[in-house]
Amino acid sequence: MAAALTLAACHRQQAQEEQPPQEPAQEQAAAPEQVTDENMFSDITGVTPDGKELSLSAVVGETDYVLLDFWASWCGPCRRFIPVLKEMYASQPAGRLQILSCSVDEDAMAWRVALQEEKMPWLQMREDEAHPCSDKYGVQYIPHTVLIDREGKIVGVNLEEPEIEEILIK
């Protein structure tokens, strides 16, 4: 695996030009009453690129781990994290890791263009007004990740790449 990648974060409510650099570890912490390590996952449903609904509950339990990745097409740190995720995903044996990316893009076309550009080989969905996914996970900054085990327990929130790899090799 490549060297660890430390990324700044994008505030999910701002346009790309307005992004203040933020350190993920300090700025992305979820509120204690929301998502933390040791909690069970909260189900969310988003819209897939082909317009169907996809629920996190349909994915959890199918592999040893699910990495829920919140991102957006306009977020530079998110886009720089995608190659890291691709390498991590490709290095895992079948049944070990599934990634479910959930875009917080308001612009569906921008999301679709980014999907074509990035060619991510894992599951994709986008939140919209009818499917407010990121609110259930206290997402204020992206990228924002949640690692969930086969039983549905959250084993990590916003872990660094080496921490995710350590969990995956156990």
d(CA 54, CA 95): 19
CB under 8 Å, gap of 24 or more: what pairs does 77-84 form? 77/7, 77/8, 77/9, 77/10, 77/142, 77/143, 78/10, 78/142, 78/143, 79/114, 79/118, 80/5, 80/7, 81/5, 81/7, 81/143, 82/118, 82/120, 84/2, 84/5, 84/161
Which 8-state DSSP code applies to residue 16? Answer: G
Its pTM stands at 0.82
CA 16 centroid distance within chain: 18
Residue of 90, 94, 81 lying closest to 159 (CA atoms): 81
Question: Which CATH number is 37-168 given?
Answer: 3.40.30.10
Q: How many CB atoms lie within 10 A of CB 45?
A: 17
- pLDDT given at position 130: 93
pLDDT digits (tens, 9 = 90+) for 62-98: 999 999 999 999 999 999 999 999 999 999 999 999 9
pLDDT digits (tens, 9 = 90+) for 116-166: 999 999 999 999 999 999 999 999 999 999 999 999 999 999 999 999 999
Domain ranges of the chain: 37-168
Q: Residue 119 contacts by C-beta under 8 Å, 6 or more apart in sequence?
A: none
Q: Please name the amino acid found at residue 45.
A: T
Label residue 31 by pLDDT band (50, 70, 90).
Answer: very low
